[in-house]
Amino acid sequence: MNIEGHLEKIRRLEDLRGRLDRNGDFELWFWSTMTAGTNAVNAALHHAKITPGERAFPSQPGVYSVPDENAGGFKSVLKASGDVLHVGRPPIPGPIPEDIAEMMKAMEQIEHFRDPCTRGEMTIDENVISACDRAYGKCADLLRRRLSEKKQ
């Protein structure tokens, strides 16, 4: 995807997050939070010219769906870099700017809760919800700062 595509997804996911009950709709709220944050990281990586902004969608680490010009639709291809599915999947080669590294650390805090909370292995309480919300807020703030201060 490109930066604008990621920003549009973030806007829609933030709208959804605002309409959900963070506790009663936790799983939906959590997935929308994590997905919005991942889109923020991808937009920042594109902005820093670390990954390409392109029409390629990750399906698993290193495998992307890209337009199939001959047959129409999409086809799967192996690519070295592109959008990440989750922070570290796939790993990003090379140096990462400090603000993007901070975004990735914030996303790792959210990812820490993914399996135990969505599989019922951990009690979901205000501490979990607040931790995820703070981490997402940091990630979103860092993206806004990057896009406003570091025009390229």
In the predicted model, is pLDDT for residue 78 greater than 60?
yes
Banded model confidence at residue 150, pLDDT cuts 50, 70, 90: low
**Residues in CB range of 12: below 8 A, 6 or more apart:** none
In angstroms, what CA-CA distances link 51 with 92, 127, 137? 8, 34, 23
pLDDT, tens digit, for every residue of 29-51? 999 999 999 999 999 999 999 99
In the predicted model, is pLDDT for residue 55 greater than 90?
no
- Residue 152: the pLDDT is 47
- Residue 106: the pLDDT is 98
Identify the CA nearest to 113 among candidates 30, 23, 25, 13.
Answer: 30
In the predicted model, is pLDDT for residue 56 greater than 50?
yes
Q: Which has more pLDDT, 104 or 82?
A: 104
